[in-house]
Structure 1
């Protein structure tokens, strides 16, 4: 069988995973209250669009859908192919796009990885949430194992007044949830930075400069995930955004929290840059101290080496060579000279 036949055979045996496997929850909401019953994504959308009140919408949550599952949901809700293509990736840069009456918000999620600072290669784990918010639906596509939205959905369902504002309220709640997680991660990273500062500025401590570079690398990743979200959040507060006025007001608060996190991340980056400089300076001072000690020890060792070298030349006519007290005198001279040099270097702080 040729390789082409193998490829066709693998395509025939590939099992299609139902879209329902990727759907974490799917619900219909009327006037802020969840409509009883279980729905597929197509049933939920059909129910909403069959209603005449205009106060209903559906919210579909997906976790790590494959291309076929995402295409199925996209076809049902009429999502733009370019936006769907972005949702297939888990490395999307935070951004806000508008396709007719549908808003697409990409957010990077972050989570703090518990660790011992000097023994781990990852401090901040990242993921992604892509939210499609239309007039009568919300589709949230989550990538990664953290930043679950189940608890958030429960909190919103306990507050029908907010859900009554429609899909915009869900969009705000997800953005607020993600930005709040940024604050939690920033608090945890602050402890790492403080611990690193304490290590660097503790006298006679051993400098692990590799750990500083690791932490700085993770701060760069955190900055790349967090900072670009600032512009989309500001755009969501603008009057031209198709969101209720009350929802736009809520987004102002989210934007303020995001600015706080962005400032803290910038401070972390500056602090770590200073720690790198301080660590290099401390290492240089330590190396200079070590070189002075080595130089002093070599100077002390040079005296007996010189005397032993001179009297080891075995010439016939050398001073005191035939005297019985010559050997003890040579040893006494060596010990006296070494002791004097040691005392002098110790007094000058070289030893």
Structure 2
């Protein structure tokens, strides 16, 4: 059957969509993606127009799907192709709109091609490429992929692989936070203790709450903190206030928020989602400046929660070399790009050969900077 394009995820039964998910990562769930749409965080004038790709069988059952968006810009993607777009503009080549398979505003690797079997996966990919050409789009991009997409696209004609590097914390069987510190060199251990003491010395205390425990007044504060992170940089926040309420109603069990309080008054927050054996740190914000509070709320509190909960991994977001000295290890991420214009494709392919070598070398050098004691 021909591929379908859905302008709203709510055109699909949530159970049908979620039945295709290969793991417990929260970001591909119907509840998360539909909350983005229903809250106005995507769609409208956001430059993220839902165009989800769906393949059905003869009886109307769902065989394969991809969360996809028509993009009129490259904001909120975290795989930066601004230079490609700029080169196209100077050469008189139209770069936007493009079709992007991704989770909006979420630089987390995971499933992008949801399918009942390999045959359905390949059929959907090939149909999506054909539709990109027919619809006069500049290309198809799949960001932060998992092993399934990597396996299908590696070596496939026309697909270009791009690498990135993030920093994730891994639980090497730590009993508690002190056990984690004991694995470090003395100097790095002292540095972290000093940072934590500086926060405690400001009279700041922390409380973890799940989605079930958070009230609308709490969400007002959480969104205000989140929005302030963007506003201090002169940017508009991606997520609307409604998104947080919708998400709390649809998947409260996945939500974990740590509130920082000074003299009983909330002053900062860090928002995370829980899925499988991993804690995903997503949003942070504060309403006043406090020395070292960001490191405590976004890193150390999450590490403590992960250890106490028996989680194996803490993904605290994209970029951030400052995570290295706090025990976050380099991890290679991948994205894949199919570009229609042959000249653009050739130029990008040459660039990516060099960039991949540089990213791999960077990740190896970063590993040497980890704070752990060496055998």
TM range (shorter): under 0.3
Higher strand share: 2
TM-score by length of 1: 0.24
Bigger Rg, which one: 1
Higher helix share: 1
TM-score by length of 2: 0.23
